[in-house]
A and B are shown apart, each in its own frame.
Chain A
Amino acid sequence: MRLSELPKGASAVVERVEDTHDNDPIAQRLRDLGFVEGERVRLVARGPIGADPLLVQIGYTRFALRRSEAARVSVQQEQA
């Protein structure tokens, strides 16, 4: 599933970040920020309008990602 589809409060493990086009700088930036295979993420909160952006906890850091950005990350949801 995509990180953008993760329910609020759920945890998941990153599988990979997919480029939406060649040399996708956003995908590269996501990888630089630590969205790499095997990393645990958690969906902490969602924005008030259209549930966008998403607040994602990865490692010790929290990032706000727009849905379109989070859709680049494919994850495996962990069972709580």
Chain B
Amino acid sequence: MSTGTLRIALVGNPNCGKTALFNQLTGGRQKVANYAGVTVERKEGRFTAPSGRVLQILDLPGTYSFDATSPDEQITRNVLEGNYPGEAAPDLIVCVADATNLRLHLRFVLEVKRLGRPVVLALNMMDTARRRGIEIDVDELQRRLGMPVVETVAVKRGGARALIERVDGEVPVAASALPDDAVSRAGLHAQVRTLLDATVRMPRATSALDDALDRWALHPVFGLLILAVVMFLVFQAVYSFGKPMSDAIGDGFDWIGAHLSIWLPAGPLQGLLKDGICTGLGTVLGFLPEILVLFFFILTLEESGYLPRAAFLLDRMMLSVGLTGRSFIPLLSSFACAIPGIMGTRSIQDPRDRLTTILVAPLMTCSARLPVYALLIGAFIPMHRVWGIFNLQGLVLFALYLAGILGAMLVGWVIKHMRKDRSEHALLMELPSYRVPQPRDVVIGLWERGAIFLKRLTGVILALTVIMWFISTFPSPPAGAAGPAIDYSIAGYLGRGLQYVFAPLGFNWQISLSLIPAFAARETAVAALATVYAVGGDAAAGGLAHALTTNFSLASALSLLVWFAFAPQCMSTLAVIRRETNSWRNVAISFSYMFAVAYAASLITYQVARLFL
């Protein structure tokens, strides 16, 4: 036992500081994956103890009990018992408990003890406990629990030393396993009370600072005001830090593309590298800075304990449209881009609520729709003043944003009434103590999100971009052809075929065709339209606007705007839905419902607009 690898499983209640402890122990040496078939994260790390023994640490999801109502809890229990396929039973369980919240956390410690496996209890956040005047008789607690107890401060350098020394020593003797049934479980609280009476002195049930902050943060008026300010600042940051970096990456790839066309002879290879791979990578990597900036704030808010407060304030509103308070942040992120929004749904534990959030997130007006909106609104909507103060163009843009929000509410409401499972899903959310976010935990979290995005998505998106390039390039136009090359390609034929589908919406074949590349990335619709209308040069945008106004009607333009508000785009979003839900079925549902909604909305818009305009 003293040689070889020691497998340690880290368990504990949510908010016990378990992940911070895991980060402290393993640093950046972590592997993040998913348990097969579910979206529960599996985090593993390793480090070498002073004795030279390698310790392999598994960070299990935070759970309140082994009642196993959620997939996280089932997995945690199965792994600890050694019943999870492909996962060896841990040699040692380290149970982490927040020293300031022992009444809740000790109950879970007792549940873990009943499994009959070797356990060490880590009393975490001992520094905060001391500051708050909480006294814990560790020796007595150790004696009564019958397991080794060590003190840790996960957020301080060297704060896990006692734990490392303990797990590096002899594996403690396990208590005998006890049967798990409702009756004995009901007795656990009584045991906790006895333990607390004998070992813990608590001058005050809560932290005075938390009480003071919550009086403001949860105030019916000021609370909402604070939330609005926080969100406003986050969005400002995304646009003022993330957007320029994204644009720079896009420009960088354009530059590489431009040089490729100088170095390489014109032909399919140049086309593939320049229009396929370069453009594709540029699109994918262009998302990265905005995603990282957004996640920086989400992680910071999460670490600080503010996120559950935001969920508390908005839960009622979200519930009425089939969502939960926890859906708010992911949906808000989707206004920048649906990808971080969908990735952010990981903070929603309930699988049903999470799926609903993922399905409606793409309806939020993301920043990639803006170039299309800007082009069409600029070309078709006059600069009228409405009631003296409003600008008609601005009103149309606002209406499109509103359409996305109302659409999401409607879809959420429909999903709520359509699903077979009508059972009540709980909020039951703990509002943890406020904490100063630790740079290390934020950096590790960011690194993980970034890696997931790049590793898992780049392949899919790149493949799709190359396919898109292929169908818009081949077959090449015959010699002496007059029209643009895309006209003769597979995409050209598809566009003309799609025209029959889209004619009732007022789309001509050029628009139908531009919808194909728009599926890769919305903003490319503008470039595609420019190509098919064969306008080029520096005045492309102005020229294009002119070409559009002469080629199609206001009714068509309105219909196209509505289409972009709801249509199933872009494929990166669909790829991230696949990745986050592990199911092509959800991708299909998402694609088809958005197609149906977009089609119906555009059809109504076009037909009604034609009557009046």
Which residues of the other chain, A, contact B317 by a CB distance below 8 angstroms? 49
The answer to whether the Cβ of A45 comes within 8 Å of any Cβ in the partner chain is: yes
The answer to whether the Cβ of A32 comes within 8 Å of any Cβ in the partner chain is: yes
B189, B315, B319: the one within 8 Å of A36 (CB)? B189
State A65–B319 Cα separation when bound (angstroms). 13
State A20–B311 Cα separation when bound (angstroms). 25
Contact: B426 with A52, CB < 8 Å?
no
The answer to whether the Cβ of A7 comes within 8 Å of any Cβ in the partner chain is: no
Contact: A62 with B428, CB < 8 Å?
no
B101, B107, B214, B316: the one within 8 Å of A44 (CB)? B214
Considering only CB atoms, which chain B residue lies closest to A25 in the complex? B69
Considering only CB atoms, which chain B residue lies closest to A49 in the complex? B316
State A65–B427 Cα separation when bound (angstroms). 6
Which residues of the other chain, A, contact B64 by a CB distance below 8 angstroms? 29, 32-33
The answer to whether the Cβ of A15 comes within 8 Å of any Cβ in the partner chain is: no
The answer to whether the Cβ of B431 comes within 8 Å of any Cβ in the partner chain is: yes
Which residues of the other chain, B, contact A44 by a CB distance below 8 angstroms? 214, 218
The answer to whether the Cβ of A66 comes within 8 Å of any Cβ in the partner chain is: yes
A58 to chain B minimum Cβ distance, whole angstroms, is 8
State A61–B220 Cα separation when bound (angstroms). 21
Considering only CB atoms, which chain B residue lies closest to A61 in the complex? B104
Contact: A53 with B65, CB < 8 Å?
no
State A32–B424 Cα separation when bound (angstroms). 18
State A63–B317 Cα separation when bound (angstroms). 18
B65, B316, B430: the one within 8 Å of A50 (CB)? B316
Interface residues of A, CB < 8 Å — how many?
33
Which residues of the other chain, A, contact B101 by a CB distance below 8 angstroms? 59-61
B106 to chain A minimum Cβ distance, whole angstroms, is 10
Q: Which of B212-254 contact A (CB under 8 A)?
A: 214, 218, 220-221, 223-224
Contact: A64 with B104, CB < 8 Å?
no
The answer to whether the Cβ of B389 comes within 8 Å of any Cβ in the partner chain is: no
Contact: B428 with A29, CB < 8 Å?
yes
A1 to chain B minimum Cβ distance, whole angstroms, is 20
Which residues of the other chain, A, contact B218 by a CB distance below 8 angstroms? 44-45, 55
Contact: B316 with A69, CB < 8 Å?
no
The answer to whether the Cβ of B429 comes within 8 Å of any Cβ in the partner chain is: yes
Considering only CB atoms, which chain B residue lies closest to A44 in the complex? B214
Contact: A64 with B202, CB < 8 Å?
no
Contact: A47 with B69, CB < 8 Å?
no
Which residues of the other chain, B, contact A46 by a CB distance below 8 angstroms? 220
Contact: A61 with B316, CB < 8 Å?
no
Which residues of the other chain, B, contact A52 by a CB distance below 8 angstroms? 315-316
A2 to chain B minimum Cβ distance, whole angstroms, is 16
Contact: A53 with B426, CB < 8 Å?
no
Contact: B65 with A32, CB < 8 Å?
yes
B202, B223, B224: the one within 8 Å of A60 (CB)? B202
Interface of A is mostly: mixed
Which residues of the other chain, B, contact A6 by a CB distance below 8 angstroms? none
The answer to whether the Cβ of B205 comes within 8 Å of any Cβ in the partner chain is: yes
Contact: A29 with B186, CB < 8 Å?
no
The answer to whether the Cβ of A76 comes within 8 Å of any Cβ in the partner chain is: no
State A67–B103 Cα separation when bound (angstroms). 24
State A53–B259 Cα separation when bound (angstroms). 59
Which residues of the other chain, A, contact B69 by a CB distance below 8 angstroms? 25, 28-29
State A34–B424 Cα separation when bound (angstroms). 20
State A45–B308 Cα separation when bound (angstroms). 14
Which residues of the other chain, A, contact B312 by a CB distance below 8 angstroms? 47, 53, 55, 64
Interface digits, B168-210 against A, CB 8 Å rule (1 contact, 0 not)? 0000000000000000011001000000000000100110001
Which residues of the other chain, A, contact B107 by a CB distance below 8 angstroms? 32, 34
A8 to chain B minimum Cβ distance, whole angstroms, is 11
Contact: B426 with A64, CB < 8 Å?
no
Which residues of the other chain, B, contact A57 by a CB distance below 8 angstroms? 205-206
The answer to whether the Cβ of B321 comes within 8 Å of any Cβ in the partner chain is: no
Contact: A63 with B189, CB < 8 Å?
no
Contact: B431 with A55, CB < 8 Å?
yes
State A28–B186 Cα separation when bound (angstroms). 10
Which residues of the other chain, A, contact B430 by a CB distance below 8 angstroms? 61-64
Considering only CB atoms, which chain A residue lies closest to B224 in the complex? A48
Considering only CB atoms, which chain A residue lies closest to B427 in the complex? A66
Contact: B186 with A30, CB < 8 Å?
no
State A63–B427 Cα separation when bound (angstroms). 9
Which residues of the other chain, B, contact A28 by a CB distance below 8 angstroms? 67, 69
State A78–B69 Cα separation when bound (angstroms). 33
Contact: B428 with A33, CB < 8 Å?
yes
Considering only CB atoms, which chain A residue lies closest to B108 in the complex? A32
Interface digits, B300-333 against A, CB 8 Å rule (1 contact, 0 not)? 0000000010011101110100000100000000
Contact: B104 with A69, CB < 8 Å?
no
The answer to whether the Cβ of B100 comes within 8 Å of any Cβ in the partner chain is: yes
Contact: A63 with B103, CB < 8 Å?
no
Given contacts A28-B69, A61-B430, A65-B427, 18 further A-B contacts (CB under 8 A): A25-B69, A28-B67, A29-B65, A34-B103, A36-B189, A47-B312, A48-B223, A50-B316, A52-B316, A55-B431, A60-B100, A60-B101, A61-B103, A62-B206, A62-B430, A63-B430, A64-B308, A69-B428
**When A and B form their complex, which 8 residue pairs have the shortest distance between CB atoms, in order from nearest?**
A59-B103, A48-B220, A32-B65, A49-B316, A62-B431, A64-B429, A45-B218, A52-B316
17 A-B pairs in the complex with CB atoms less than 8 angstroms apart: A25-B69, A26-B428, A29-B65, A29-B69, A32-B107, A33-B64, A34-B103, A34-B104, A36-B189, A48-B223, A53-B427, A55-B218, A59-B101, A65-B427, A66-B426, A66-B427, A69-B427
Chain B residues engaging chain A, CB cutoff 8 angstroms: 64-65, 67, 69, 100-104, 107, 185-186, 189, 202, 205-206, 210, 214, 218, 220-221, 223-224, 308, 311-313, 315-317, 319, 325, 424, 426-431
Chain A residues engaging chain B, CB cutoff 8 angstroms: 20, 25-26, 28-34, 36, 39, 44-50, 52-53, 55, 57, 59-66, 68-69
